[in-house]
Amino acid sequence: MKRREFLTAAAALSAGTWAQATERARVTPEKWSRLVIVGGAEDRVQDRVILRKFIEYAGGPLARIRLITAASGVPEVVAQSYSAVFSDLGAQNFAVLPLNSREEAMNPQLSADIMQADGIFMSGGDQSRLMQTVFDTPVMEAMHKAFHFNHCCIGGTSAGAAVMSRHMIAQGAAVLRPRKDIVETDIGLGFLPAAVVDQHFSERRRLPRLLSTLAGRPDLLGVGIDEDTALVVERARAIEVFGKGTVTLVDMGQAQTNAGDVAEEAQIEMLGVQLHTLPAGHRYSAVRNVPQNWPAGLRRAIEQLVKPGPVYL
């Protein structure tokens, strides 16, 4: 199937046309388009802070929450685990979407279910497997419509976090220092158009891998998310971090690198890289009239994360 381009929707947003796109479209102070991006290994046994927060952002116990297990090699096992957790946390309208092949991704009923969802959560596994299943299908289109038009909360853990960005890390070795062309990338879902996400970040010591990725795409903001930690992105408003770890932002916007001059897999010189570590329990607003004594680089990074992306149609 031919890959269609992502279409910029900023003009449509400013013109107010999104509100008419679906009869369920609504904007209230409590319901914003949010991404809940989890670094993997979220607690499903004890306090379960991240999944509780996801239910809250989806709309509470009555929210229509749907699970996508297409990234997993054992989808039935993953589905059973999350079904038990969400039930235990009081989610009364939870269901696992039958989405494990491209054929299933063409099912109109599946797209209709996604369009009616208040929260969609993507499990871990292999991000390439997930994208092979949903890319350029009605399901992917429905997910974008649900997020942009209906303010559905989109969450994902591990592989489900990696696919959030347009430029996606598909795989890459755990190197000790940045090297050229050691990371394989592909196209993700595109909810974060100007960033690239890496997960299990501190636990698997992936800063060199993220730096290696950014050496080839310095226009992107690097986002590293620790395990049992979530980065919440409220479109056009703010970001926040909750869970147990830290979110690391890596900004190459004003850096210099010799990546274009060295051989494949050679070590890379990287000068002027900006790095921010955001611990759990902190919220960062992108609203400029809020008094904040933050470095200009951090403000620029936040604005890069929250800016509205293109809509896949």
Q: How far is CA 165 from the centre of its chain?
A: 6
- Closest among 250, 254, 255, 242 to 305, alpha carbons compared: 250
Distance (Å, rounded) from C-alpha 27 to C-alpha 258?
A: 46
Do residues 217 and 196 make contact, with C-beta atoms less than 8 angstroms apart?
yes
**Catalytic site residues?**
158, 200, 227
Amino acid in the structure at residue 22: T
β partners of residue 233: 35, 239
Quick one: residue 126, left, alpha or beta (phi over 0 = left, psi -120 to 50 = alpha)?
Answer: beta
**List of residues 6+ apart from 127 with CB closer than 8 A:** 71, 159, 160, 162, 163, 168, 169, 170, 188
